[in-house]
Amino acid sequence: MGKVYENRRKPKREGKKITVGKVEAVPAGRGATVKLKSGGEVALFNVNGKFYAIENFCPHKGYQLADSRLYGNIVECDLHGWRFDVTSGECFTKKGCSIESYEVFVEDGWIKILV
Ligand code: FES
């Protein structure tokens, strides 16, 4: 395997709850890219009405996971098929390649992520 890339779009942990959009914006079974002011990106997923957020960067070659296909709570990277649990960031394809996950809240119909 080649180099595992450093994620330059990994959000810095700020301990801040940010509002990212209305719940209707992300239908069940879909993902969305959330661009943060800090330059970081988070991949937000709707798994049967519950929202989860992980880094938007596959550690294999850096593809955006928000654009990849979701199977239940598993996102499969569209580029070469690495698989991640969107609820925890755990990588099922390669040990030691798990990614960050972020707490998501829904308040008054708004999705908020703790970054
Ligand atoms: S970039 Fe290769 S599996 Fe994601």
pLDDT tens per residue across span 16-69: 999 999 999 999 999 999 999 888 899 999 999 999 999 999 999 999 999 999
- For the chain, give the percent of residues with pLDDT over 90: 84
Q: Which atom of ligand 1 is nearest to the CA of 81?
A: 3
| Identity of the amino acid at 5 | Y
Judge whether residue 1 has pLDDT over 60.
Answer: no
CA distance 73 to 94: 18
Q: Give the residue, out of 1, 61, 84, 97, with the most ligand 1 atoms within 8 A of its beta carbon, to mutate for a pocket test.
A: 61
Distance 107 CA to ligand 1 centre (A): 33
Tell me what the mean pLDDT of segment 97-113 comes to.
Answer: 97
Judge whether residue 12 has pLDDT over 90.
Answer: no
The protein residue with its alpha carbon nearest to ligand 1, atom 2, reads: 80
Tell me what the mean pLDDT of segment 79-105 comes to.
Answer: 97
pLDDT computed for residue 2 by the predictor: 63
pLDDT computed for residue 30 by the predictor: 97
Q: Which atom of ligand 1 is nearest to the CA of 58?
A: 4
- Average pLDDT of the chain to the nearest whole number: 94
Helical (H) or strand (E) element with 111: strand 110-114
Give all domains of the chain, ordered by start, each with its CATH number. 17-114 (2.102.10.10)
What's the pTM value of the predicted model, to 2 decimals?
0.94
Distance 88 CA to ligand 1 centre (A): 18
Judge whether residue 73 has pLDDT over 90.
Answer: yes
